[in-house]
Amino acid sequence: MSINIWHPFTQHGLGEPIPEIARAEGAALYKADGTRIIDAISSWWVQTHGHCHPKIVSAIQEQSAKLDQMIFAGWTHEPARELAAGLSDFLPESLDHIFFSDSGSTAVEVALKMALGYWHNRGDARQKILVMEHSYHGDTIGAMSVGARGVFNQAYAPLLFDVGTIAFPDAGSEQKMLDQLEAYCRNKDHPPAALIVEPLILGAGGMKVYSPEILKQMAAICRAYDVLFIADEVMTGWGRTGTVFACEQAGIEPDILCMAKGLTGGVIPLAVTAATDALYQAHFSKDRAQMFFHSSSFTANPIACAAANANLQIWRDEPVQGRIDDIIASHQNFTQRLMHKENVSGLRQCGTILAFEIDDNAGDYMSELGPQLLGFFRDYNILLRPLGNTVYIMPPYCIGREDMESIYTVVEEAIDHFHSN
Ligand code: PLP
């Protein structure tokens, strides 16, 4: 019997090639024959400092020889304690409790359960979760429920719970969205439990950008009506939008903040859901029935925590912010080059993320242009994975000027190629 691998978000029926990678270093992946591929999307937005950063690699090596894995219910270990202490340099002061899990989706599940547990334990029947149109929060059932509905999840619709959806604040319709949010929050018969948002930029929903000012106003409305504000910083966290966390740019402190991907520099899975003392106190009791009922076998895996501690050390020791600023400036220059392309629209930048649409007729995720672009970039040894006709560039921060220029050149070639074809 031969067992075949079933890849994520892959339609095997199309017979697309699935290249094999043998090793990685910095901003590049290498095939066994030595072919070098520039990782222009940080391997699905996880890599921040680059592949196989020596400090993270050696932290993993050392920790795995010392304490590999242990139960975290009722027990603890040094790498987890060190990480909690270290995160206090990066998180707002009000987020003084952290709960570990393994992925962005589970960080979101934990956030939703914390929010509902908070209201339940306080004897308030608030259950409704508010979400933003076009959001993506992961592929587990709860995370899918608070994400956009569509072709991705229509088969699983019976499993998904109902939410209240506010519009995306497109230019000119910001006030409409804020009014909609306020109307939901003001509803005395069914007051919402929480609002969950991707701050400043909606990732998988099409790299849609909105301003820090709008984010700030959303948080203020939630605060005014006692609705918990959950920031899903799984993609935006760890420098992606130009600051360590996107919420910083709006000057807001959410009640709950989810992080994953870049927490370990993108090397090994680990997630954290950070919460305020109020969330923690709502579960703190002599009554065991009020505890936070959530765990997974690998909660706070010591090796993953050691990798995260190495990530924090890199942020302290290396010029990470300078590298981020270089990418931001480089994207700004490239934007000037793209402005004159006839078939390019929606040019936008949020920190290290640059995105735009290549005009076609379908104009959504199922656009045929998506797989065609993917193939085009693959032929040029650039790892870019457009969302339909939306092309975005999100490189690891260690990327050099030459690699950036190679990405830009191939992107320009793709734009011209698909204009004439
Ligand atoms: N939340 C956001 C904003 C994301 O972008 C993602 C993944 O891309 C997730 C949650 C889910 O993270 P994971 O794929 O680690 O489960």
Ligand 1 within 6 A of CB of 102 = no
CATH number of 56-317: 3.40.640.10
For residue 421, what pLDDT is reported?
Answer: 61
Give the integer Cα–Cα distance in Å for 173 and 395: 31
For residue 365, what pLDDT is reported?
Answer: 66
Mean pLDDT to the nearest integer, 342-351: 97
Task: Give tens-digit pLDDT for 152-194.
Answer: 999 999 999 999 999 999 999 999 999 999 999 999 999 999 9
User: Domain ranges in the chain?
Assistant: 12-52+319-420, 56-317
Residue nearest to atom 13 of ligand 1 (CA): 104
Task: Tell which CATH architecture fits domain 12-52+319-420.
Answer: Alpha-Beta Complex (3.90)
Angle at 419 between CA 416 and CA 421, to 5 degrees: 110
Residue 10 — pLDDT band, cuts 50, 70, 90? very high
| Cβ neighbours for 101, distance < 8 A, ≥ 6 positions apart | 107, 109, 110, 271, 272, 273, 294, 296, 299
C-alpha 317 – ligand 1 centre gap (Å): 27
Mutate to test the pocket of ligand 1, among 132, 234, 241, 245 (most ligand atoms within 8 A of CB): 234
pLDDT-above-70 percentage for the chain: 98
Task: Give tens-digit pLDDT for 35-69.
Answer: 999 999 999 999 999 999 999 999 999 999 999 99
Q: Which residues are bridge partners to 208 per DSSP?
A: 202
Residue nearest to atom 12 of ligand 1 (CA): 104
Length of the chain in residues, anyone?
A: 421
Ligand 1 within 6 A of CB of 105 = yes
Compute, in degrees rounded to 10, the torsion defined by CA atoms 61, 63, 69, 70: 170
Ligand 1 atom at shortest distance from the alpha carbon of 236: 3
C-alpha 204 – ligand 1 centre gap (Å): 9
Ligand 1 within 6 A of CB of 185 = no
Mean pLDDT to the nearest integer, 380-396: 97
Residue nearest to atom 14 of ligand 1 (CA): 104
Ligand 1 within 6 A of CB of 46 = no
For residue 420, what pLDDT is reported?
Answer: 65
- For residue 364, pLDDT over 90 is answered with no
For residue 368, what pLDDT is reported?
Answer: 84
pTM: 0.97
Give the integer Cα–Cα distance in Å for 13 and 117: 43
Taking CA atoms, 246 is separated from 235, 237, 389, in Å, by 10, 7, 25
For residue 410, what pLDDT is reported?
Answer: 98
For residue 129, what pLDDT is reported?
Answer: 98
Residue 360 — pLDDT band, cuts 50, 70, 90? confident
Mean pLDDT to the nearest integer, 315-341: 97
| Strand-pair category, 129-132 with 164-166 | parallel
Mean pLDDT to the nearest integer, 361-367: 67
Ligand 1 within 6 A of CB of 198 = yes
